[in-house]
Amino acid sequence: MSSTPIVLDVDTGVDDACAILFAALHPDLDLRAVTCVDGNAPLADVVRNTLTVLDACGREDVLVAAGAERPLLEERADARHVHGDDGMGDLDWPRSERRPDPRHAIELLRDVLLETAEPVTLVPLAPLTNIALLLRTYPAVARGIRRIVFMGGAAHVGNATASAEFNVFHDPEAAAITLDACADLGIETVMYGLDVFYGPRVALDVARDLVALHADGPAGLAGRLIAFQCERFGAGSATIGDAGAVCAVVDPEGLTTERLPVRVELAGTWSRGRTIVDRRDWDGNLAHDPHGQAPASLDVALEVDGARYSRLWLDTVVGAP
């Protein structure tokens, strides 16, 4: 497989860190840049955590830039209850001293996407604030995007609320704008939502072995991230979370998707931020529906081979020199 150019947009985040490890270390991925956005933690913590993970991988070559420090309309609300006070598990891992690229994230993304010789796979793993701003400010970047594979939404139940998944709930307007822009610009989009997010898991004893065998390297960091989640929730295993979306770029056969119309609810009291995945047959007679078919149809991930992706992730983070 030739090397696939890829860019991540993150709110690092314990599972974003798992995704960055994978993207930085997998031999078939050409990680060009990682842009940061407010989400799991405040933007400054997200930038520091992102640089820290790239340092652990020896990937100081990867461009990092800071983007939006708050949602477009919604008030900020972080997820420290999940990711710890520093946003990345409160590990005593050496923090990066490096500074990010001086460009704003959407300027860096514009430059990378307009200058790339080969279209890039864009992988948002966070609230879509940067992506909405990018696509509406610089629509010409669409020519540099092979497809978008984003972690967000759900065809069924939420996590932030009964209805909504965290990334979409954090900035519902950004998610709605992003889907509308992808439809307008003809950008192929895969939705890696909660229906598959919790599938690829790593056991606590495997994580502890990684820490024991690879204390200071990326595999050791991977083990610490998994162990933190297990210990925080008193569980015997933890999801690789966002990393699964990057596994889907390398190994799309591990995912079952269906092309379905999707809208984002912006007005509902109890349903704001819900991704309304329409599984009806639009080739049938739905003329009665006053809403009509949603403009955006996405490849919605409905099933995942969790063991396949957790094996792929482990082999990649352990296989690194």
Asked if 126 interacts with ligand RIB (CB under 6 A), we say: yes
Asked if 15 interacts with ligand RIB (CB under 6 A), we say: yes
Asked if 242 interacts with ligand RIB (CB under 6 A), we say: yes
C-beta separation of 70 from 78 below 8 A: no
Backbone angles phi, psi at 302, to 5 degrees: -110, -25
Closest to Ca ion by CB, 29 vs 294, is 29
C-beta separation of 121 from 6 below 8 A: yes
Asked if 51 interacts with ligand RIB (CB under 6 A), we say: no
Q: Which of 9, 11, 265, 278 binds ligand RIB (CB under 6 A)?
A: 11
Task: List, in order, residues 6 or more apart from 276 with CB less than 8 Å away.
Answer: 262, 263, 264, 265, 294
Query: Of the listed pieces 8-16, 204-212, 219-227, 279-287, which binds ligand RIB according to CB under 6 A?
Result: 8-16
User: Which one of ligand RIB, Ca ion, none is in contact with 265 (Cβ closer than 5 to 8 A by kind)?
Assistant: none
Kindly state the smallest distance separating residue 10's Cβ from ligand RIB, in Å: 8
Asked if 50 interacts with ligand RIB (CB under 6 A), we say: no
Six-digit token string for 183: 């439809």
Question: In angstroms, rounded to a whole number, what is the distance separating the alpha carbons of residues 256 and 25?
Answer: 25
Kindly state the DSSP code that residue 75 receives in the 8-state scheme. P
Kindly state the smallest distance separating residue 10's Cβ from Ca ion, in Å: 6
Question: Do β-strands 255-264 and 275-277 pair in parallel, antiparallel, or remain unpaired?
Answer: antiparallel
Using DSSP, state whether 277 is helix, strand or coil: strand
State the DSSP H helix or E strand holding residue 36, giving kind and residue range, or none if neither: strand 29-36
Q: Which of 114, 121, 124 is nearest to 29 (CA)?
A: 121
Closest to ligand RIB by CB, 116 vs 123, is 123
Six-digit token string for 186: 């003809």
**Residues within window 28-47 making contact with ligand RIB, judged by CB under 6 A:** 39-40
Which residues are at the interface with Ca ion (CB under 5 A)? 11, 13, 16, 125-126, 242
CA terminus-to-terminus distance, the chain = 20
Question: In angstroms, rounded to a whole number, what is the distance separating the alpha carbons of residues 3 and 248?
Answer: 15
C-beta separation of 19 from 317 below 8 A: no
Six-digit token string for 273: 């931020």
User: Which one of Ca ion, ligand RIB, none is in contact with 297 (Cβ closer than 5 to 8 A by kind)?
Assistant: none
Asked if 159 interacts with ligand RIB (CB under 6 A), we say: yes
- Determine the size of the site formed for ligand RIB (CB under 6 A): 16
Closest to ligand RIB by CB, 17 vs 111, is 17
Handedness of CA 104, 141, 54, 38 (dihedral sign): positive
Cα separations in angstroms, 302 against 129, 178, 183, 252: 25, 21, 21, 13
Q: Which of 6, 24, 141, 151 binds ligand RIB (CB under 6 A)?
A: 151
Q: Which of 13, 217, 220, 273 binds ligand RIB (CB under 6 A)?
A: 13
Q: Which of 241, 244, 254, 273 binds ligand RIB (CB under 6 A)?
A: 241
User: Which one of Ca ion, ligand RIB, none is in contact with 180 (Cβ closer than 5 to 8 A by kind)?
Assistant: none
User: Which one of Ca ion, ligand RIB, none is in contact with 195 (Cβ closer than 5 to 8 A by kind)?
Assistant: none
Q: Which of 5, 8, 9, 16 binds ligand RIB (CB under 6 A)?
A: 16
Residues of this chain that bind ligand RIB (CB under 6 A): 11, 13, 15-16, 39-40, 79, 125-126, 151, 159, 165-167, 241-242
